[in-house]
């Protein structure tokens, strides 16, 4: 199983970063490999919004679709994505956004995944690994577009 985790400061507020990542419908506009995303179900349970979403990922002639369950917890500023169906044996990722005294925030991102097929993993595994390592950068760049580029003291 492949895993990747990063924790780093950004110049945008925790609530803004949470809202940006929670807006899954916008992912095809900026997220590496994401060709399409459709929310097929929304429900609220214990003040958490639960989404079931289909994401299509692609690169050149390779296209795959998978379904995930996304739990949005605005009170905790956290997002949990759990795999439901598709080309993975396992997929889970977590986001946490913590406010910092500088007006910015700390992003904590974790992803663990394993492809169902070794052949498919050989075909796209390296590409997928490179893409997930760029996810936080993609969201930070998107935040600069949506909220305006900010310069904040990122160390405290």
- The per-residue pLDDT for range 86-105, each reduced to its tens digit, is 888 898 999 999 999 888 99
Instruction: Report, in this order, helix, strand and coil percent for the chain, each rounded to 5.
Output: 30, 50, 25
Residue 156's pLDDT is 47
**Which structural domain, as residue segments, surrounds residue 43?**
2-147
pLDDT at 21 over 80: yes
- 154 within domain boundaries: no
Nearest to 28 by CA among 143, 138, 108, 149: 138
- 47 within domain boundaries: yes
- 57 within domain boundaries: yes
- 152 within domain boundaries: no
- 107 within domain boundaries: yes
- 86 within domain boundaries: yes
pTM above 0.75, yes or no: yes
pLDDT at 22 over 80: yes
**Residue 33: CATH number of its domain:** 3.30.530.20
- 19 within domain boundaries: yes
Residue 102's pLDDT is 82
Nearest to 80 by CA among 95, 65, 66: 95
Residue 37's pLDDT is 96
- 112 within domain boundaries: yes
Look at the chain and report how many structural domains it folds into.
1
């Amino acid at each position: 199983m492949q895993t990747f985790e990063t924790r780093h400061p950004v110049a945008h507020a925790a609530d803004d970063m949470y809202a940006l990542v929670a807006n899954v419908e916008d992912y095809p506009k900026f997220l590496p490999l994401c060709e399409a995303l459709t929310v097929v179900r929304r429900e609220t349970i214990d003040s958490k919004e639960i989404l079931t979403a289909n994401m299509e990922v692609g690169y050149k002639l390779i296209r795959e679709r998978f379904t995930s369950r996304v739990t949005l917890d605005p009170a905790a500023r956290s997002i949990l994505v759990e795999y439901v169906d598709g080309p993975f044996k396992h997929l889970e990722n977590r986001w946490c956004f913590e406010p910092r005294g500088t007006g910015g925030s700390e992003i904590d991102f974790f992803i663990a995944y394993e492809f169902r097929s070794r052949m498919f993993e050989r075909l796209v595994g390296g590409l997928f690994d490179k893409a997930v390592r760029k996810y936080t950068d993609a969201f930070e760049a998107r935040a600069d577009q949506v909220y305006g580029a900010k310069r904040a003291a990122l160390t405290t």
